[in-house]
Amino acid sequence: MADETTTPVEGEEQENALVEQTKVSQWLTKNGFGHELMEIDDTGVEVLQVDRQFLLPFSTALYAYGFNYLQCQGAFDLGPGKDLVSFYHLIKAKDSAHQPQEVRIKVHVPRDDATIPSVYWIWKAADWQERESYDMYGIVYEGHPNLKRILMPEDWVGWPLRKDYISPDFFELQEAY
């Protein structure tokens, strides 16, 4: 039979898990990197929101902390008239291969001033991913070495995945040529 003193109570178990999951947020706060802990997603990944002007120092700190692999960068639209969001899913690649530590960063920008510093110089994997976010949502990644359309033709007008995008009439375009 197990000793009662070694068996954690259900509430304590959840609290200990939460403290462990917010370890990155605690380290960032302790070192003066302002951010907002948005949530812990259903897989246990911390989701941190940061202002765009602090993205580069924030990302550099996470790289120094050990998040050396950008698994995914993407964007999404919160709706017509609302913000666009650029997100970054980071992993400590040298951690245990079974369960590496992960964190996700979100940066909200207004759609009429959608500019964010590029993290290409920290994680080279951002190259094509930032280009795709630019092409589909019109988010400009300042400092990116080759920010141009990657999926749509160079002369395409608009950002096709924005929720307020109006698709051009195919026949109207055809008659123009």
51-60: Cβ within 8 A, 24+ apart: 51/107, 52/107, 52/109, 52/115, 52/116, 52/117, 55/105, 55/107, 55/116, 55/117, 55/119, 56/117, 56/119, 56/122, 57/33, 58/28, 58/33, 58/105, 59/88, 59/105, 59/119, 59/122, 59/123, 60/122
Q: What is the pLDDT of residue 38?
A: 79
- pTM given for the model: 0.80
pLDDT exceeds cutoff 60 at 83: yes
Which domains, and CATH codes, for the chain?
15-176 (3.30.460.80)
pLDDT exceeds cutoff 90 at 59: yes
Average model confidence (pLDDT) across the chain: 84
